[in-house]
């Protein structure tokens, strides 16, 4: 994990927000994963991903509208598809349709 990220995830503001968000979800549906609604939510995910540029913007980092309670599985899927998207974007093909090695 990047330093700025690990600093954020250990900050008191985030731990308080995370706790408040989870108890709010528990009050709504017992704290189920917001995607599959089958497994217990474990991870509070930022819909708009945190970056070094927005990590100090509490409208992004601490805003309940930007949070989602996910189970481990849905969280993995979310981040894997994100990785796939960026690979697709970066992947270039030669004139024969073979993918070129990344630069």
Binding site for Zn ion (CB under 5 A): 33, 35-36, 45, 71, 74
Q: Are 1 and 9 in contact (CB under 8 A)?
A: yes
**In the complex, minimum distance from the CB of residue 77 to Zn ion, in angstroms, rounded to a whole number:** 8
Q: Are 9 and 42 in contact (CB under 8 A)?
A: no
Q: Which is nearer to Zn ion, 53 or 93 (CB)?
A: 53
Q: Which is nearer to Zn ion, 37 or 58 (CB)?
A: 37
**In the complex, minimum distance from the CB of residue 103 to Zn ion, in angstroms, rounded to a whole number:** 27
Q: Which is nearer to Zn ion, 36 or 91 (CB)?
A: 36
| Integer angstrom CA distances of residue 21 from 41, 49, 67, 86 | 11, 17, 8, 29
């Amino acid at each position: 994990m990047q330093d700025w990220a690990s600093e954020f995830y250990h900050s008191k503001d985030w731990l308080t927000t995370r706790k408040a968000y989870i108890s709010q979800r528990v009050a709504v549906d017992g704290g189920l994963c917001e995607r599959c609604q089958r497994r217990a939510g474990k991870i509070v995910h930022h819909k708009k991903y945190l970056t070094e540029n927005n990590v100090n913007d509490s409208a992004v980092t601490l805003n309940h509208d930007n949070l989602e309670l996910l189970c481990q599985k849905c969280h993995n899927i979310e981040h894997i598809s994100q990785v796939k998207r960026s690979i697709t974007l970066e992947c270039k093909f030669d004139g024969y349709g073979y993918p070129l090695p990344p630069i």
